[in-house]
Structure 1
Amino acid sequence: MNKTELVAAIADKAEIKKVEAEKAVKAFTEVVAEELKKGEKVQLVGFGTFEVKENKARTGRNPRTGKSMKIKASKAPKFKAGKALKDSIN
């Protein structure tokens, strides 16, 4: 499912116009991104948690040459599914 299909499904489910559903999806993604940038996490009970994972600097290998190389520390967004979501899938 892509963003357009998601917006259409939300509009249908919530019985609202697609324009309103698109605004809601955009607002949701912006708020989650802003909170993650601040180092906060967004927890939706029953659905899951969006948080930032910090990767430490480490030494890796270039697969082509086999040479060692330094990989810088970085941050990456992470989603952890909640129990209710996992149970609904299984």
Structure 2
Amino acid sequence: MTKTDLISMVAQKADLTKKDSEKAVTAVIDTITEALVNGDKVQLVGFGTFEVKVRGERMGINPRTKEKMKISASKLPSFKAGKALKDSVAK
């Protein structure tokens, strides 16, 4: 499903115009993104939790040269599905 498909489904289920549903979907995505950038956790009960995970600095091996190299620390967005979502998908 693409963002366009999602907008169409939201418009149909919420009885909105595609233009209004596009604004709503974009606003939700932007709000979640801003919260993650600010270091906040976004928890949607029954759906899941979005948060930023920090990966520490570590040593790795360059597969081409077999040389050891340092991999810098990084921040990654992550999503953990809630129980209701897991149960729905499992059916």
| TM bracket (short chain) | over 0.9
> In structure 2, what residue type is equivalent to 1:31?
T
Q: CA deviation at 1:69?
A: 0.7
Please list the CA deviations of residues 5-48 of structure 1 after superposition, one character each: whole Å capped at 9, or x if unmatched: 00001100111000011001110111001100111000000000
> In structure 2, what residue type is equivalent to 1:6?
L
Q: CA deviation at 1:56?
A: 0.2
Name the Cα RMSD after superposition: 0.5
- CA distance in 1 between counterparts of 2:21 and 2:62 reads 45
TM (normalized to structure 1)?
A: 0.98
Equivalenced residue count is 90
Q: Which residue of 2 aligns with 1:66?
A: 66
> In structure 1, what residue type is equivalent to 2:35?
E
- Residue 43 of structure 1 aligns to a residue whose secondary structure is strand
- Residue 30 of structure 1 aligns to a residue whose secondary structure is helix
Identity of aligned pairs, percent? 58
Runs of 4+ deviating beyond 2 Å: none
Q: Which residue of 1 aligns with 2:88?
A: 88
Q: Which residue of 1 aligns with 2:51?
A: 51
- CA distance in 1 between counterparts of 2:69 and 2:25 reads 40
Q: Which residue of 1 aligns with 2:24?
A: 24
5+ unaligned residues in a row in structure 1: which ranges? none
TM (normalized to structure 2)?
A: 0.97
